[in-house]
């Protein structure tokens, strides 16, 4: 068991959690969740090395009868007696209990139910049966480890994590599997023999995020641009239809979610709740709040409160790289049968997109930014800020790091070919932003301007405006 974890890239925190679960002296109910293609099943299977007492994978778009037949087949694979197809989920879990009670397992009895949301067909009573199985028996067995997994994050959250019935507060461990960081992307690509410079890896991240399955599609020996065409733009490309499949797999009533992310894609800096309602033509109700929270929980949307935790100034910003890239390029140009991305390099359209995508990359690596600033041990809070609507001077700052050591960092994120050059106009703009921010927020702390860029800063008359310089290589740390 877990002897193969050395083949896993990253996932150190998740592996340590699973190890602690195996060392527990109590029954453990574990939820492993996260977006489609992020590597949840691979993590669990690699850690446990198929040493399950029982394993079941739900069937996509199949009815209750077919799901129960699949359950019976799994019982027969792991049991030493013939199990017939159960008529209900209560019967199914009673049979599972029988299998587990008769299992000749050394150590923990491990149950892994993958793609649990797929099994819960309409009117199936699956969750009620699972509740009874856990509360009536499994929770009393100190050697039981029940792991449930699924991409449908909204289902997992609503039916399991926030269950108000028999499973309320029954989950003992929840493991949210996030995309790779830049450093983990590089490690993964290196393990597959793919050689790319850090800047290319960053652009790859800016297109698809740190999703292992997408990275797995990269062809060795091809340029990044060739690979992106093969994945998204050529006829019968390898990830054709991925956008629709992604949202359908994650969320019930995916159309509502797509409406919101499409609205957010129209404004790179993000929208307030009121602006989302207006742009997407939605009603202002609790359902909208639930959708926004689910998008936040999946790391598709970031909610930035105003500086000083001002909720009314909250901005909802689309941060999922693949979704942003889809609306910018794939929706209009995907699957056309022609190479597209190879001809975007160096164009104005590419430069505009890269600048915005680089900002998102930096926001996703704020821990690495703090480490580069030497403040990883200092208590910090990250904010965005927009000057009030009645202000004479309009300013928006995407990343502010408020530090416990009485310094506030205003981060400027610039994607640039070569060293960034600070022109006079840029120098004056930066000083104005700093002045307006301090004035409206009555800041008494020292305020530093921090430049985060690709290749560093060219020294000139105006470059001293920046107190700290962070390059793209600084973001490749864990």
Mean pLDDT in residue range 47-55: 94
For the chain, give every domain's residue range: 5-176, 182-240+334-349, 243-329, 365-475
Greater model confidence, 59 or 309: 59
Which tens digit of pLDDT belongs to each residue from 362-387?
Answer: 988 999 999 999 998 899 988 888 88
Q: pLDDT tier at 405 (50, 70, 90 boundaries)?
A: very high
Which tens digit of pLDDT belongs to each residue from 238-292?
Answer: 999 999 999 988 887 889 999 999 999 998 878 888 999 999 988 888 789 889 9
Is residue 413 predicted with pLDDT exceeding 60? Answer: yes
337 C-beta neighbours (distance < 10 Å), count: 10
Is residue 85 predicted with pLDDT exceeding 80? Answer: yes
Which tens digit of pLDDT belongs to each residue from 202-229?
Answer: 999 999 999 999 999 999 999 999 999 9
Q: Please give the C-alpha separations between residue 420 and each of 200, 430, 451, 457, 461, in angstroms, as whole numbers.
A: 18, 14, 9, 5, 13
Q: Percent of the chain scored above 90 by pLDDT? A: 71
| CA 210-383-279 angle, 5° bins | 75
E strand residue ranges, 59-143 = 109-114
Greater model confidence, 471 or 441: 471
Mean pLDDT in residue range 406-430: 95
Q: pLDDT tier at 308 (50, 70, 90 boundaries)?
A: low
Query: Which residues contact residue 99 at a Cβ distance below 8 angstroms, ignoring those fewer than 6 apart?
Result: 53, 54, 75, 78, 79, 83
Is residue 77 predicted with pLDDT exceeding 80? Answer: yes
Query: According to the model, what pLDDT value does residue 448 have?
Result: 96
Greater model confidence, 296 or 90: 90
Query: According to the model, what pLDDT value does residue 124 have?
Result: 93
> How far is 297 from 439, CA to CA, in rounded Å?
34
| CA 209-245-33 angle, 5° bins | 65
The separation between CA 98 and the C-alpha centre of its own chain, rounded to angstroms, equals 38
Q: Are 133 and 100 in contact (CB under 8 A)?
A: no
Q: Percent of the chain scored above 70 by pLDDT? A: 97
Q: pLDDT tier at 6 (50, 70, 90 boundaries)?
A: low
Greater model confidence, 104 or 181: 181
Q: pLDDT tier at 5 (50, 70, 90 boundaries)?
A: low
Which tens digit of pLDDT belongs to each residue from 120-142?
Answer: 998 999 999 999 999 999 999 99
Q: pLDDT tier at 2 (50, 70, 90 boundaries)?
A: low
Pick 365-475's CATH classification: 3.40.30.10, 1.10.150.120, 3.90.79.10, 3.40.1350.10: 3.40.1350.10
Query: According to the model, what pLDDT value does residue 306 have?
Result: 59
Q: Under CATH, what is the fold of the domain 243-329?
A: Arc Repressor Mutant, subunit A (1.10.10)
- Supply the mean pLDDT for the chain: 91
Query: According to the model, what pLDDT value does residue 56 have?
Result: 97
Q: pLDDT tier at 305 (50, 70, 90 boundaries)?
A: low
Q: pLDDT tier at 313 (50, 70, 90 boundaries)?
A: low
Q: pLDDT tier at 3 (50, 70, 90 boundaries)?
A: low
Q: Are 110 and 51 in contact (CB under 8 A)?
A: yes
Is residue 310 predicted with pLDDT exceeding 60? Answer: no
Superfamily of domain 5-176: P-loop containing nucleotide triphosphate hydrolases (3.40.50.300)
Q: pLDDT tier at 311 (50, 70, 90 boundaries)?
A: low
- Count the alpha carbons within 13 Å of 99 in the hemisphere toward its beta carbon: 28
Q: Which of 5-19, 105-119, 277-291, 304-318 has the lowest mean pLDDT?
A: 304-318
């Amino acid at each position: 068991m877990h002897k193969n974890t050395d083949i896993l890239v990253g996932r150190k925190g998740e592996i340590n959690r699973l190890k602690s679960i195996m060392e527990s002296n109590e029954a453990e109910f574990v939820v492993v969740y996260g977006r489609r293609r992020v590597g949840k099943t691979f993590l669990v299977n690699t850690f446990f090395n198929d040493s399950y007492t029982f394993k079941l994978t739900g069937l996509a778009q199949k009815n209750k009868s077919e799901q129960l037949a699949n359950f019976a087949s799994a019982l027969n694979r792991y049991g030493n007696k013939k199990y017939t197809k159960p008529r209900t989920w209560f019967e199914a879990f009673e049979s599972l209990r029988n299998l587990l009670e008769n299992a000749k397992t050394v150590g923990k009895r491990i149950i892994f139910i993958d793609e649990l949301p797929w099994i819960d067909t309409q009117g199936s009573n699956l969750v009620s049966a699972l509740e009874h199985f856990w509360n009536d028996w499994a929770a009393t067995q100190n050697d039981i480890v029940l792991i449930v997994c699924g991409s449908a994050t909204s289902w997992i959250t609503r039916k399991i994590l926030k269950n108000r019935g028999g499973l309320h507060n029954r989950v003992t461990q929840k493991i949210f599997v996030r995309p790779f960081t830049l450093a983990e992307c590089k490690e993964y690509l290196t393990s597959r023999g793919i050689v790319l410079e850090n800047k290319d890896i960053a652009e790859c991240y800016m297109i698809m995020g740190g999703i292992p399955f997408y990275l797995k599609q990269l062809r060795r020996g091809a340029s990044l641009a060739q690979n992106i065409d093969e994945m998204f733009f050529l006829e019968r490309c390898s990830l054709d239809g991925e956008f629709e499949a992604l949202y359908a797999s994650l969320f019930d009533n995916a159309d509502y979610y797509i409406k919101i992310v499409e609205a957010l894609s129209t404004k790179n800096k993000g929208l307030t709740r009121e602006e989302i309602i207006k742009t997407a033509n939605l009603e202002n109700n609790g359902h909208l709040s639930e959708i926004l929270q689910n998008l936040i929980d999946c790391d598709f949307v970031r909610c930035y409160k105003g500086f000083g935790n001002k909720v009314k100034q909250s901005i909802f910003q689309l941060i999922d790289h693949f979704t942003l890239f889809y609306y910018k390029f794939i929706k209009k140009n995907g699957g056309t049968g022609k190479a597209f991305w190879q001809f975007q390099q160096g164009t104005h359209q590419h430069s505009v997109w890269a600048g915005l995508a680089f900002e998102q990359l930096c926001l996703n690596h704020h821990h690495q930014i703090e480490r580069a600033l030497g403040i990883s041990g200092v208590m910090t809070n990250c904010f965005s800020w927009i000057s009030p609507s009645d202000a004479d001077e309009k300013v928006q700052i995407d990343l502010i790091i408020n530090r416990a050591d009485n310094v506030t960092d205003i981060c400027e994120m610039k994607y640039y070919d070569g060293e960034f050059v600070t022109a006079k106009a840029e120098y004056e703009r930066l000083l104005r932003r700093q002045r307006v921010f301090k004035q409206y927020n009555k800041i008494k702390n020292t305020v530093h301007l921090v430049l985060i860029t690709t290749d560093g800063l060219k020294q000139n008359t105006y470059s001293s405006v920046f107190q700290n310089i962070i390059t793209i290589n600084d973001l490749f740390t864990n």
